Structure 1
Amino acid sequence: MKIRLDFLQAEPIRVLITGAAGQIAYSLIYMVSSGEVFGKDQPIILHLLDIPPMTKVLEGVCMEINDCALPIVREVVATTNVAEAFKDISAAFLVGAMPRKQGMERKDLLSANVRIFKEQGQALDQHAKKDVKVLVVGNPANTNALICSKYAPSIPKENFSAMTRLDQNRGQSQIAVRCGVPITNVKNVIIWGNHSSTQYPDINHAEVITAGGDKKKVRDAVNDDAWLNDTFISTVQKRGAAVIAARGLSSAMSAAKAASDHMRDWWQGTDGRWVSMGVFSDGSYGTPAEVMYSFPVTCANKKWTIVQGLAIDDFSRQKLDSTGNELMEERGEAIAACEA
């Protein structure tokens, strides 16, 4: 199905959202279509992909897009055909995956979901633009992104990333609440490693502008190492499970916001700000190479660069190694599942 909407003068880009009839996409589609991600003057052609049983729901989503009268949306291509969905896209939000349910661990998702991302990697390789920017949201996101990249050899590995921005947003929010300041007063919270319960939310380089207007290191402003080294880390690591326990469904609104933040900063640049992205590791900070590892990065000209030269204390070293080991284990399991 295709819907013709408003026309703008600039050349449109094609943007894919998979799992388009699902919960995360329901919020994400509007955020992308509002102009916040790619720019208010950048028209887009939305490609929406879902599985055949969701066709009727997808039709309803298309009706709502039309009814929103969004100025930058030139056309909507809603389909269950993978080749059509990936044709000539410049950006992809790979959201569609089996969701985590209550009582499930991330590893439970791996064998089912990596096959989806193998197929989508092959589709990217065959149909997408070679400079496409690919953000993997579906869990286990880091390893899904790695598999996607593996099966799209004609696209640079630097064009694939996994979403850890939700974890960064969660961490910054926890610090802002603790310090009694707006979220904009907190910067440089880092998420290292995997989007899982082994991730390391690191505040050792983070800063906050206090309620009194002073700029301080977060550790000094909070002045509670026990909370920062235990409760804070655990809260961020397990926030997804806490949301599921509270609402019976996985994070959707916050995940969509984080996906929008991630792609916006990648596309439009961070102006020197640090953001957390799961990217193809080059071994920086002693991390394992050739896994999708979350680092602090800056973005400019649609490229990311790992922030270098940060001091890593013994406590942090242990955390970085632990999450890296998990990613290597997942890589082995995922490759085996894809080759089975």
Structure 2
Amino acid sequence: MVLRWSWLMLHFLFLRDVMSKNVSIYKAQASALEAHAAPNCKVLVVANPANTNALILKEFAPSIPERNVTCLTRLDHNRALGQISERLNVQVSDVKNVIIWGNHSSTQYPDVNHATVKTSSGEKPVCELVADDAWLNGEFITTVQQRGAAIIKARKLSSALSAASSACDHIRDWVLGTPEGTFVSMGVYSDGSYGVPAGLIYSFPVTCSGGEWKIVQGLPIDEFSRKKMDATAQELSEEKALAYSCLE
């Protein structure tokens, strides 16, 4: 018990140190944007912890609308598309509407309950074609969650080029719009949709049009998904509290 408590304290102090440095960096970035950027500029935060870094930046650049500050979860979204395309031996472009819920971290929830694949006989649900709930609720999720760490372990380098490509995808869809019937994942400011606490930067399914994003509403959420979505929201709430404590 004493050893576990000591480990938790060291882990907390490490996280607080990292968060303290991030708060300083993103306060400075926000100040620069506040002083020199156009108020209607669009901001995409990539550096981790991306969601909370974006939240800090938003707090200290008040003239930039909260809708214009986002974080990157498109890399995770693209990885989820890739895992499904590989499993079903189809083109990545034939898979759509996977969702990354929550934090760009190992608690993120890759969700395929609303995803489809284009086939010769029309669009078919991913869950129906895969027909393996154990894989979808297990290996698929952990593979997407841990893909970044796996790449670093294998290459001794981060997946910087993949992140850059995903950032281009994010901005392209945000500015030019998403195709009809297609949604993508973006870390955006929560308005309370799907029971996610307002005031977090949380990854939702969105559609884009006219340079604006909109959270897709009304998707049914099963019990398994609800627990996963709540767990990643809890982590983001804890990160937010830690970040704010570093301002004191």
TM-fit CA distance, 1:336: 1.6
Looking at structure 2, the residues matched to 218 and 287 of structure 1 have their Cα atoms a distance apart, in angstroms, of 25
Candidates 233, 239, 245, aligned match of 2:153: 245
TM-fit CA distance, 1:259: 0.4
Where 1:116 maps in the other structure, the secondary structure is helix
Candidates 61, 78, 96, aligned match of 1:152: 61
TM-fit CA distance, 1:110: 3.0
The answer for the alignment partner of 1:83 in structure 2 is none
Structure 2: tracts of 5 or more residues without a match: 1-13
Q: Is the 8 A contact 1:191 1:294 kept in 2?
A: yes
Candidates 9, 13, 27, aligned match of 1:118: 27
Q: Which amino acid aligns with 1:250?
A: S
Q: Is the 8 A contact 2:16 2:242 kept in 1?
A: no
Candidates 232, 238, 243, aligned match of 2:140: 232
Quick check: 1:320 aligned with 2:224?
no
Quick check: 1:268 aligned with 2:176?
yes
Q: Which amino acid aligns with 1:265?
A: D
Aligned-pair RMSD on alpha carbons? 1.5
The answer for the alignment partner of 2:129 in structure 1 is 221
Map 1:73-222 onto structure 2 (within 5 A). 109-210=18-119, 213-222=121-130
Quick check: 1:254 aligned with 2:162?
yes
Q: Is the 8 A contact 1:109 1:139 kept in 2?
A: no
Q: Which has the higher contact order (CA 8 A, sep 6+)?
A: 2
String of CA shifts for 1:207-255, please: whole Å, max 9, x gaps: 0124x55421000000110000000000000001001001111111110
Normalized per residue, the structure richer in helix is 2
Looking at structure 2, the residues matched to 107 and 247 of structure 1 have their Cα atoms a distance apart, in angstroms, of 29
Instruction: Tell me the TM-score normalised to structure 1 length.
Output: 0.67
Q: Which amino acid aligns with 2:158?
A: S
Looking at structure 1, the residues matched to 156 and 67 of structure 2 have their Cα atoms a distance apart, in angstroms, of 35
TM-fit CA distance, 1:322: 0.3
The answer for the alignment partner of 2:3 in structure 1 is none
TM-fit CA distance, 1:115: 1.7
Identity rate, percent: 59
Instruction: Tell me the TM-score normalised to structure 2 length.
Output: 0.91
Q: Which amino acid aligns with 1:327?
A: L
Structure 1: tracts of 5 or more residues without a match: 1-104
- Larger radius of gyration between Structure 1 and Structure 2: 1
Q: Which amino acid aligns with 1:130?
A: P
Looking at structure 2, the residues matched to 280 and 110 of structure 1 have their Cα atoms a distance apart, in angstroms, of 20
Looking at structure 2, the residues matched to 113 and 213 of structure 1 have their Cα atoms a distance apart, in angstroms, of 50
Corresponding residue pairs, total = 234
Looking at structure 1, the residues matched to 50 and 44 of structure 2 have their Cα atoms a distance apart, in angstroms, of 9
String of CA shifts for 1:74-130, please: whole Å, max 9, x gaps: xxxxxxxxxxxxxxxxxxxxxxxxxxxxxxx98874332232111111111111000
String of CA shifts for 1:151-196, please: whole Å, max 9, x gaps: 0011110000000000000000000000000001100000000000
- CA distance 1:176–1:213, change in 2 (3 Å): farther
The answer for the alignment partner of 2:188 in structure 1 is 279
Map 1:8-87 onto structure 2 (within 5 A). none
The answer for the alignment partner of 1:303 in structure 2 is 212
String of CA shifts for 1:20-60, please: whole Å, max 9, x gaps: xxxxxxxxxxxxxxxxxxxxxxxxxxxxxxxxxxxxxxxxx
Where 2:204 maps in the other structure, the secondary structure is strand
